[in-house]
Amino acid sequence: MSARAEREKRRVLTPEDLLYLAERVRALDAYAVYPWDRERLWADVLAAQMEARTRAEREAVAEARGALQILDAVERHFVRRE
């Protein structure tokens, strides 16, 4: 089996699984993750970044940005495409 075929075999998550993960990320509690819309969620987080006034608000947005980066990586590497 080729290396690519082996990598494809490991991709076992569905978009619903990704939504399940996003719903449980506390850093995203302030944002609507259902229905899953990656672009809208990123837009909401970046808008919050621009509106953040206090250090606590900026830190919360930074955590949300980090969580989205992790979810993007999970989606890129493990979500099954059919």
Rounded CA separation 70/82 (Å): 22
Going by pLDDT thresholds of 50, 70 and 90, the confidence category of residue 70 is very high
CB 79 within 8 A of CB 14: yes
pLDDT tens sequence across 32-42: 998 888 999 99
Tokens of 66: 């980090």
| DSSP assignment string, the chain | --HHHHHHHH--B-HHHHHHHHHH-GGGTTS--SS--HHHHHHHHHHHHHH--SHHHHHHHHHHHHHHHHHHHHHHHHB---
0.85 surpassed by pTM? no
Tell whether the model's pLDDT for residue 60 goes beyond 90.
yes
**Domain map (residue ranges) of the chain:** 3-78
What local confidence, expressed as pLDDT, does residue 79 receive?
83
Per the model's pLDDT, the better-predicted residue between 1 and 31 turns out to be: 31
